[in-house]
Amino acid sequence: MSPLTGKTVVVSGVGAGLGHQVAAAVVRDGGNAVLGARTEANLAKSAAEIDPDGAHTAYRATDVRDEGQCEALAALARERFGRIDAVVHVAARDSYFGGLEDADFATWQSVIDVNLLGTLRMTRACLPGLKERGGSVVFIGTQSAVAAPSQVRQAAYAASKGALTSAMYSLARELGPHRIRVNTVLPGWMWGPPVRAYVQFTARTEGVGEDEVLRRLTGRMALPELASDADVADAAVFLASDRARAITGQSLLVNAGELMR
């Protein structure tokens, strides 16, 4: 039996990259995937690719900054499939760059509203369903929260994800009596649309080949290639499944061995 057979997983932030891969892995492993993101067209495209006959997917346009929309996505999962067994949080604002000296704190607040508070809103919306049978909450964090990269500055993103990882410990204690597990996946440089764009931009800017930019990145890693968004999705789906039934309050780096802790 597949590890998610008969289970329903809510996935926030489904677009062309990691969110799509998480939803695809849920369906591949026998589960039902309920997709949320702000753009309905992206959801429809993802669902059609993952599940052409629509038997194992449902979707609703969802902005995690809006509590009512989070509740509506959780309600869709229960209406369509009768249960919520896990929620994987991919929705994030990761496109704001910079450090402290050039910080626009209004933008920092918007990053925190999505990455920290939006994740917590969506988690709370799913709690009634999760409490019925127990289940799993999986946060997508970032390696940058524990080791700042030298190539780019994303202080706001790292701070928001670091706060989310800290919240994980409290939630693991609070929700554990309901048999709800809470864990975090920490991707490093992850081959998918954002990193592909970084490699292409850097190669054009510096007048070097994309292979050279990739070589610099992989040269820092124990394994000779970047983890992919599918690799990160597999880790998230493992934590969502009963195969991780005794794991809670943990952070798992998926980074090809760039950082070891």
Closest of 97, 96, 94, 62 to residue 77, by C-alpha: 62
Point out the catalytic residue in the list 59, 96, 157, 198. 157
Work out whether the CA dihedral 77, 81, 85, 86 comes out positive or negative.
negative
Our CA angle for 206, 209, 214, nearest 5°, is 95
| Residue 28 burial class via C-beta count within 10 angstroms: exposed 0-12, middle 13-18, buried 19 and up | middle
What are the CA-CA distances from residue 202 to residues 22, 83, 198, 212, 256 (Å)? 28, 45, 6, 10, 21
| Contact indicator for 90, 146 with CB cutoff of 8 Å | no
CB neighbours of 196 closer than 8 A, spacing ≥ 6?
A: none
Q: Look up 59 and say whether it is catalytic.
A: no
**CA distance linking residue 230 with residue 192, whole number of Å:** 9
Catalytic residue numbers, as ranges:
157
